[in-house]
Amino acid sequence: MSEFALKLAPSMIAADLSRFAEVIAELESVGVEWLHWDIMDGRFVPNISFGPMVVQAARPLTGLHFDVHLMIEQPGNWIDQFADAGADGIDVHVEGCDLNATLPRIKARGLRAGVVLNPGTPVASIRSHLPTVDNVIVMSVQPGFAGQKFMPTVVPKIEELAQLRATFGHNFELIVDGGMSPETAAIAARAGATVLVCGASSVFIKGQPLATSVAAMRRSVA
């Protein structure tokens, strides 16, 4: 398996919170590689979601990679709390912090450091960080709300990042977050995505077993 073999990262904000432990065990049993944690503060984005205590409670339940996406103001103030809670990687928005100050602090905790681009933010804004970051997340919806449609306008951005990674030998995972379904997953994968964040339209589909949903996503990108 190549370093950039495609990974699925179910977004835990879309999971059934009343049976959190069972859902995590099920996801691990059907072979997903990462769990994605959307952290919202009601300020950087309008909604509020998890804090570090939820991540900490889930950490003993699985050895899966925990990718923590901070959609919050002043994310640098929360790096240590999420690192202590069990994060394996932390992703921050270029629109919300000083990357020169924040990314080294994430790496200093031994975590994967990632940067996130909103749909309207150009690749040029993070170009200087591409040699050193571990993750780049392309938002394919506006951050902060579940259930949005995938924005095809971000596909050239995914392709640009994939080309830069190949041309210069960068080592970041190229993550696409928002509006994933079997159909849009295929589009993102063809453009060069290596991790797909999966929510209510891809993995956590009401009334459908997780194994069925994950299998459909795998088939779509095979």
Positions marked active-site: 38, 177
First to last CA, the chain: 13
Q: What token pair was written down for 52?
A: 């570090």
**SS3 of 139, please?**
strand
Alpha helices, DSSP H, located in the chain: 20-29, 52-58, 79-85, 99-108, 155-168, 182-191, 210-220
Question: Cα–chain-centroid distance for residue 42?
Answer: 19
Of the CA atoms within 13 Å of residue 129, those in its CB half-sphere come to 23
